[in-house]
Amino acid sequence: MSTDSTSTRPATRTSAIDEHLLAALATRERPVRPNPARVSLTFGWRALLKIKHVPEQLFDVTMFPIMFTLMFTYLFGGALAGSPREYIQDLLPGILVLTVAMITMYTGLGINKDINKGVFDRFRSLPIWRPAVLVGALFGDVLRYTLASLIVIGLGLLIGFRPDGGALGVIAAVALLLVFAFSLSWVWTALGFLMRTEESLMAVSMMILFPLTFISNVFVDPATMPGWLQAFVDVNPITHLSSASRGLMHGDVDASQVGWVLIACVVFIAVFGPLTMRLFRRKQ
The closest of 87, 99, 103 to 219, measured between CA atoms, is: 87
Rounded to two decimals, the pTM is 0.81
Of 171, 196, 180, whose CA–CA distance to 253 is shortest? 171
Q: Is-contact 101 209, C-beta < 8 A?
A: yes
Cβ atoms within 10 Å, residue 197: 11
Q: Residue 3: CA atoms inside 13 Å, Cβ hemisphere, count?
A: 0
- The 10s digit of each residue's pLDDT in 62-111 is 888 888 888 888 888 887 777 888 889 888 999 999 989 988 888 888 88
pLDDT tens per residue, range 101-118: 988 888 888 888 888 887
The confidence band for 282, taking pLDDT boundaries of 50, 70 and 90, is confident
Q: Give every CB contact of residue 172 below 8 A, 6+ residues apart in sequence.
A: 165, 248
pLDDT score, position 1: 47
Contacts of residues 56-61 at CB distance under 8 Å and 24 or more positions apart, as own/partner, are 57/106, 58/144, 58/147, 60/103, 60/106, 60/144, 61/103, 61/144, 61/145, 61/147, 61/148, 61/151
If DSSP codes are grouped into helix, strand and coil, which group holds residue 240?
helix
**Is 140:44 a contact under the CB 8 Å cutoff?**
yes
135 vs 116: CA distance, rounded Å: 19
Higher pLDDT, 187 or 84: 187
